[in-house]
Amino acid sequence: MFTIDTLRCVGACGLAPVVIVDGKVFGRVKVEDVQNIIKQYSTEDALVGSK
């Protein structure tokens, strides 16, 4: 469902560390933020799949 990659540069040094999901950049992400980001996209996938 998800793929995690380590990248050298995404051009957003001022927002580091960043997480990118489907082109949306989440800046200044903390470890505890990642679970909520994944939940947000898991819920969206479930809603799209149910239509």
Does some domain include residue 7?
no
44 token code pair: 């969206």
Q: List the domain range (segments joined by +) for residue 30.
A: 13-49
**Per-residue confidence (pLDDT) for residue 30, from 0 to 100:** 98
Does some domain include residue 43?
yes
- The structural domain count of the chain equals 1
pLDDT in tens, 6-30: 988 999 999 999 999 989 999 999 9
Q: Using pLDDT thresholds of 50, 70 and 90, give the confidence band for residue 46.
A: low
Does some domain include residue 5?
no
Does some domain include residue 3?
no
Does some domain include residue 37?
yes
Mean pLDDT computed over every residue of the chain: 87
Q: Are the C-beta atoms of 18 and 12 separated by less than 8 Å?
A: yes
- Antiparallel, parallel or unpaired: β 19-21 and 24-26: antiparallel
